[in-house]
Amino acid sequence: MGGWPEARERSAPGRRRGRRSGSSPDPDGPDAVPPAGGPHLEDDPGDPEQVARSICLRALTGAPKTRQQLADLLAKRGIPDDVAEAVLDRFGEVGLIDDAAFARAWVTSRQAGRGLARRALKAELRAKGVDGEVAEEAIALVDDQDEWDAARRLVQRRLPGLRRVDRVTAERRLVGMLARKGYGSGLAGWVVREALDEDRSGDAAGEPGVHEDQGLDAWLP
């Protein structure tokens, strides 16, 4: 009989641990895990403006965002429109939101890294809520020769994997690839035909460039 209380005390912690591991935390309790991306407005009784600022700062920590992207995020989190407008205005005043700088950086990165043409870059900026005039100014950083050179690089990288297929198939695939990058059919067709002629004839002695008889304007969309 004397050993029973000790056994009961030793087993009690084990039983308590078992109940904790098998139960779900109270969603409103102090140990509850907040939802991904931060609390919704209804979850925080504090100042809505402070909640909005916190949401924007967290969003901007990973990468720059446009004003429209942040506005969409605040609306999704239940922030009133007038509060969102005031917070976004303030973030713009202190330089935390700068759509023009965002657009310039986006164009530079995507054109150099992905070889996108101006048409594709403009569509991407529009999807991110960049104003049309602001987008045009950023896209002006890319000129005709930039597009020509980028298209040639894209084709040259893809050519080795197409040497086992017939010319018609290779040309169709390469033109399709450039079209997905935003290039018009005129420029794409010219670059692809020129690259295939050089590759399949084995003549790679000269440095490819602008055609001697026709300028770039003749082949741009």
pLDDT tens digits for range 50-78: 999 999 999 999 899 999 999 999 999 99
Which of 2-11, 38-47, 127-136: highest mean pLDDT?
A: 127-136
- CB 59 within 8 Å of CB 65: yes
| Structure confidence at residue 93 (pLDDT) | 96
Please write the tens of the pLDDT for every residue from 113-166.
Answer: 999 999 999 999 999 999 999 999 999 999 999 999 999 999 999 999 998 999
What is the token pair recorded at 113? 């890294």
- What pLDDT shows up at residue 110? 95
DSSP letter assigned to residue 2: T
| pLDDT at res. 78 | 94
Give the pLDDT confidence score for residue 41 in this predicted structure.
45
Is a pLDDT exceeding 60 seen at residue 210? no
**Greater confidence, 157 or 210?**
157
Amino acid 44: pLDDT: 52
Mean pLDDT across the stretch 176-190? 95
Burial degree of 55 (CB within 10 A; 0-12, 13-18, 19+): buried
Residue 199 confidence class, pLDDT cut points 50, 70, 90: confident
Q: What is the pLDDT of residue 43?
A: 45
Three-state SS for 95-158 is CCCCHHHHHHHHHHHHHHHHCCCHHHHHHHHHHCCCCHHHHHHHHCCCCHHHHHHHHHHHHHHH
- The confidence band for 207, taking pLDDT boundaries of 50, 70 and 90, is very low
pLDDT of residue 194: 94
d(CA 49, CA 71): 13
The pLDDT value given to residue 200: 75
Query: Across residues 94-119, what is the average pLDDT?
Result: 95
CA distances from 43 to 49, 118, 152 (A): 14, 43, 53
